[in-house]
Amino acid sequence: MSYAPILTIANEKGGVGKTATAVNVAAALARAGLRVVAVDGDSQADLTWGVGAEPDQGPGFAEAIEHAAQGDTFDPATLLPTVVDGLRVLAGGQGLAEVAPELYTAGADGEEWVSTALRAVAELEDVDVVVIDTPPSPGPVTIGAIMAADLTLAIANARQANSVAALQTLIERAKAISARGGHGGVRVVLQGHDEHRVLHRDMRDRLQAEPEGLFAVIPHSKDVEESPLDGVPLVASRGRGSSRTAWALCDLAQDAYNVARQIHTQQVTAA
Name the binder of 224 from Mg ion, ligand ADP, none, CB < 5-8 A by kind. ligand ADP
Tell me if residue 36 falls in helix, strand or coil: strand
| Dihedral sign for Cα atoms in the order 190, 12, 116, 186 | positive
119 binds, among Mg ion, ligand ADP, none (CB under 5 to 8 A by kind): none
Q: Which stretch binds Mg ion (CB under 5 A): 27-35, 42-50, 101-109, 111-119?
A: 42-50
| 60 φ/ψ angles, rounded to the nearest 5 degrees | -140, -145
User: Residue 87 or 263: which CB sits closer to Mg ion?
Assistant: 87
Our finding on whether 160 is near Mg ion (CB under 5 A) is no
In whole angstroms, how close is the CB of 52 to Mg ion at the nearest point?
16
Rounded to whole angstroms, how far apart are CA atoms 105 and 38? 27
> Quick one: 69 or 252, whose CB is closer to ligand ADP?
252
Q: How far is the CB of 31 from Mg ion (least distance, A)?
A: 22
The piece of 18-26, 187-195, 217-225, 255-263 that touches Mg ion (CB under 5 A) is 18-26
Is residue 218 helix, strand or coil?
strand
In 12-149 the beta strands, taken as DSSP E runs, fall at 36-40, 80-81, 87-90, 129-133
Q: In the complex, what is the shortest distance from the CB of residue 209 to ligand ADP, in angstroms, rounded to a whole number?
A: 22
CA dist 225 and 234 (Å) reads 9
Q: Whose CB is nearest to Mg ion?
A: 19
Can you list the positions of beta strands (E) in the chain?
6-10, 36-40, 80-81, 87-90, 129-133, 151-156, 185-193, 216-219
Whether 185 and 150 have beta carbons less than 8 Å apart is answered as yes
Footprint of Mg ion on 106-135 (CB under 5 A): none
Nearer to ligand ADP, 127 or 236 (CB): 236
What are the residues binding ligand ADP (CB under 6 A)?
14-20, 46, 136, 191-192, 218, 220-221, 224-225, 245
Question: The sheet that has 216-219: what strands, in order across it?
Answer: 80-81, 87-90, 36-40, 129-133, 6-10, 151-156, 185-193, 216-219
Which residue from 11, 19, 116, 245 is in contact with Mg ion, where contact means CB under 5 A?
Answer: 19
CB 105, min distance to ligand ADP, A: 26
Q: State the binding partner of 185 from ligand ADP, Mg ion, none, CB within 5 to 8 A by kind.
A: none
Q: Residue 221 binds which entry of Mg ion, ligand ADP, none, with Cβ cut-offs from 5 to 8 Å by kind?
A: ligand ADP
Q: Shortest Cβ distance from residue 270 to Mg ion (Å)?
A: 33
Please enumerate in sequence order all residues whose Cβ is within 8 A of that of 213, keeping only pairs 6 or more positions apart, or say none.
188, 207
Give least dist CB 16 to ligand ADP, A.
4
d(CA 1, CA 79): 21
How near is the Cβ of 32 to ligand ADP at its closest, in Å? 20
Write out the residues near Mg ion by the rule CB under 5 A: 18-19, 46
